Structure 1
Amino acid sequence: MFDATARKLIDPPLNAVGRWVAALGVSANQITLLGLALGLISAAMIWGGVPVAALIPLLLSRVADGLDGAVARSTRKTDFGGFVDIACDFLFYGAVPLAFVLLDPAANAIAGAFLLASFYFNGTSFLGYAILAEKRGMETSAQGSKSLYFSNGLLEGSETIGFFVLLCLFPQFFAPLAWIFGALCYATAILRILAARQIFND
């Protein structure tokens, strides 16, 4: 919901840094994998019982997630790069809730399972929409120049990162926060399906 607005603020400095990083010979895919590594380190720290400290690699991983696109735009975007980026994003998004479940299975397992199922449903609706949009030659730049078609929704990357920050700051409230955010993920997916019905139902 806020990604398009956030892009207007973060893209100019990211693009400047991206040009500098690209000049050093660092590839977009290397930045993507670095971002994934930082995200998985954050998840491991959450599992280890230090969720507040885990915010540092978590936020750095999201900076890397934006920086890889800036590097690609300053050099050359590839379909494989877009594929690796979205795959790493989905792994990161699943690893953080899993870490909270592993941290306290008795308190978090059911809510965590509900949340992960909602991520699965929402992610499927996102990728399915992108495939059909590509098939029809649809384009959008609302969230910046992307290798995949990014359909907007009630919850997007900005909201998810904000949610993860809340979880790290208030891990004792994981279950109620997971139920709320998971329900909103289901609503996002359903709204996307309704939009797809209007656009793709020939």
Structure 2
Amino acid sequence: MLDKSMRKVIDPIVNRIGAGLARLGFSANGITLIGLALGLASAGAVAIGAFGWALVLLLLGRLADGLDGAVARATQKTDFGGYLDIVCDFLFYGAFPAAFVLYDPGLNGAAGAFLLTSFYFNGATFLGFAIMAEKHEMVTDARGTKSLYFTGGLLEGTETIVFFVLLCLLPHWFAPLAWFFGTLCFITATSRILLARKVFPH
């Protein structure tokens, strides 16, 4: 919901930094992998209860996730780069909630399972829509120039990162926050199915 607005603010800054990194010889895929490593390190910090470090690593990882696209735009965008980016994002989005379950399985297990199920469902509707959009030659740059077709929704990347930041700041509230956010994910996924039914032939 907030990605379109945030892009207008963030993209000019990120693109300037990305162009500078490209001139220094950094590759987009390399930055993608650095972002994944930082994200997984953040999840590891959660699992051992080091929530301050988890927050720092989370923010650094998400910064890298924004910079890889900027470096690609300053050099050359590739299909593999777009593929690698979305795969790494999904791995991180799964690992971070799972880390809270590892931290306290008794308290966080059920809520974590519900949240991961909602992520799985939401991700499936997102990728499925992107595949059908490509088939029908649909294009959009409302959320920045992407390798895949990005549909809007109640929850997007910005809301997810805000949610993860809240979890780092309020780790003992994981269960109620996970139940709430997971419910919103199910609503987002369902709305995307309804949009697909409206847009695609059936």
> Shorter-normalised TM-score: what interval?
over 0.9
1:33 counterpart = 2:43: no
Q: Provide the rounded CA distance (Å) in 1 between the counterparts of 2:150 and 2:191.
A: 15
Q: Provide the rounded CA distance (Å) in 1 between the counterparts of 2:125 and 2:52.
A: 32
Residue 65 of structure 1 corresponds to 65
1:201 deviation in Å? 2.6
Residue 112 of structure 2 corresponds to 112
Q: Provide the rounded CA distance (Å) in 2 between the counterparts of 1:143 and 1:133.
A: 15
Q: Provide the rounded CA distance (Å) in 2 between the counterparts of 1:156 and 1:101.
A: 23
Aligned residues: 202
What runs of 5+ residues in structure 1 fail to find an aligned partner?
none
1:52 deviation in Å? 2.4
| Identity level (%) | 65
Residue 4 of structure 2 corresponds to 4
Q: Provide the rounded CA distance (Å) in 2 between the counterparts of 1:154 and 1:201.
A: 24
Residue 80 of structure 1 corresponds to 80
Code of the residue aligned with 1:5 in structure 2: it is: S
1:102-181 to structure 2, matched below 5 A, reads: 102-181=102-181
TM-score, normalisation: structure 2: 0.99
Residue 201 of structure 1 corresponds to 201
Q: Provide the rounded CA distance (Å) in 1 between the counterparts of 2:178 and 2:113.
A: 9
Q: Provide the rounded CA distance (Å) in 2 between the counterparts of 1:201 and 1:177.
A: 37
Code of the residue aligned with 2:63 in structure 1: it is: V
TM-score, normalisation: structure 1: 0.99
1:150 deviation in Å? 0.5
1:51 deviation in Å? 1.3
